[in-house]
Chain A
Amino acid sequence: MLGIAMKLGRSTGLRKCVVWDLDETIWSGRLLDGDQPIPRPGIVGVLRELDRRGILQSIASTNEHDTAWPHLVRLGIADLFVFPEIHMGNKVDSIRRISERLFIRLPEVAFVDDDPFERAAVESALSDVLVIPAQRYEDLPRMAAFTPGVSTRESRRRREMLQAEARRQEALEQATSLEEFLRSCDVRFEGRQATQGDLERLCEMMMRINRMNMTGKEWSRDGIVSFLTRPGHFILVASLQDRFGDYGTVASAMLRRSDDAMLAEGMWMSCRVGKRGLPASFLSFLGSFCHRSGVRKTVFPYRPNGKNRLLAFHLGQYGLRGRRSPDGEEIRYTYLVPEAIRPYPPWVSVQCPL
């Protein structure tokens, strides 16, 4: 199994999305030749297992959408795919678009196709994508690249959240202004202190979130448990809902009290729901918590790693200023409370039972 990735020289890191071809991959037969497609043996089980693990699935197929889609519906698997690209355009562009719409980087994408030409084209243009021959489809659930260490409510519902995001995007395109649209979304933010019940989701966020991950440091499960129980140590979490769906726990921060300051040892936010005002809401919640805890400031030692610039951008947009350390490895953002605490975005209703 792992031999595929090794032979192709690809990283075996966790893949968050599989992009499938249709003809001779998900089913036997070619629609453009007028064949009646027959699902490959066991393929539905493979698709459902990946979905259960929270791995997103999409389609890049050279076919007419209106011809192919009814077959996916008939097989009962149409709902398993997000942002499918079924058209006569090229698959490299399709995979790029899918990756952008899912907010997933190309090194987190896999592509399955029976056609050596299509596989070679993707390997050549998108060298970070893990390319797998279609005849190996039954191996996918056994590959490390598709075996996340934890499974949470959020991961099991990831596809539904993406489908909610697609409905939101359609509604946004109909709206006359972004502010008016956001006010109509009924965005609800809830912030609270984490408990042992949040452990799985905390582990998952720390593993999956790259773009808004303050340090990139990996925390062990035991390390998080220890942090949860130690005096003067706090883990804050936030969840988000709107009229399109419930996104579950989407932000967390680990704070350690030191005299009159809180030091953030880590902070993670999902960029998928950032457009609803999550970064500003979470920072306001965090500032209020620190103020109520009696400290004068919170320090965020952000470590740039080439992937997490988005977090620095949001800290800056919240009005926080960062100072780079002499060795250049770290930028320390200082958040004075209460004076730097900003009001929540006007379209967000807030519940913070602290």
Chain B
Amino acid sequence: MQNECTLQGAIDTIRQILARHAGAAGAVCIDPESPVFGPRGPIADSLRILDALMEIENRLNVEIPDEDLTEKLFSSVRGLAEYVVRRQQAPDVDA
């Protein structure tokens, strides 16, 4: 479990987790600007994305409230990482 981490650290961790849940060959093939979810993202299955999200929460020691599971939060890997870092620093921040 990581406590606070840098933006790049969060991006790398999220890419690794998404790659594993997507069955992709490696995190390197996931562009930080690509959507996290949907036909154009690494994972198109909502059950898998929730499993990945749970792992992201555990690994990065952050809790994502259900009301923050917005379309915007999943619009890019970088955006999700930025949210995670903000939330680590101020747990009450909105998506």
Contacts and interface: CB of A to CB of B under 8 A. Distances in A.
A206 interface: no
Interface string B47-76: 101100000000000000111111101100
Given A317-B37, A317-B74, A323 B47 contact: no
A317 B68 CA distance: 11
Contacts of A177: 39
B46 A274 contact: yes
A314 interface: yes
A313 B67 contact: no
Report the contact-size class of chain B (Cβ under 8 Å from the partner): 10 to 19
B73 A316 contact: yes
Given A275-B45, A323-B67, A331-B67, A313 B50 contact: yes
Contact of B70 (A309, A310, A321): A321
Given A178-B39, A179-B39, A317-B74, A322 B67 contact: yes
Q: Name the residue among A177, A211, A314, A316 with the largest chain B CB count within 10 angstroms.
A: A316
B44 interface: yes
A297 B78 CA distance: 33
Interface string A280-317: 00000000000000000000001010000110111011
B50 A310 contact: yes
A219 interface: no
A324 interface: yes
B66 A302 contact: yes
A287 B47 CA distance: 24
A309 B66 CA distance: 7
Interface in A167-183: 177-179, 182
Interface string A319-330: 101111000000
Contacts of A279: 46
Contacts of B45: 275
B44 A314 contact: no
A348 interface: no
Contact of B66 (A274, A312, A317, A319): A312
Contacts of A318: 71
Among B47, B67, B73: residue with most chain A CB under 10 A: B67
A254 interface: no
Contacts of B44: 178, 275
Contacts of A313: 46, 49-50, 66, 69
A271 interface: yes
A279 B50 CA distance: 15
A134 to B, nearest CB: 32
Nearest to B41: A178
B70 A316 contact: yes
A11 to B, nearest CB: 23
Contacts of B68: 316
A96 B39 CA distance: 26
A134 B70 CA distance: 47
B43 to A, nearest CB: 11
Interface in A241-299: 271, 274-275, 279
Contacts of A275: 44-46
A317 B71 contact: yes
Interface string B63-95: 001111111011000000000000000000000
Contacts of A322: 66-67
B1 to A, nearest CB: 21
A314 B45 CA distance: 11
Interface of A: 103, 177-179, 182, 211, 271, 274-275, 279, 302, 304, 309-310, 312-314, 316-319, 321-324, 331
29 contacts: A103-B47, A178-B39, A178-B44, A179-B39, A182-B39, A211-B47, A271-B46, A275-B45, A279-B46, A302-B66, A304-B66, A309-B50, A309-B66, A310-B50, A312-B66, A312-B67, A312-B69, A313-B46, A313-B66, A316-B67, A317-B37, A317-B46, A317-B69, A317-B70, A318-B71, A321-B67, A324-B67, A331-B66, A331-B67
Closest 5 CB pairs of A and B: A312-B66, A322-B67, A316-B69, A316-B70, A178-B39
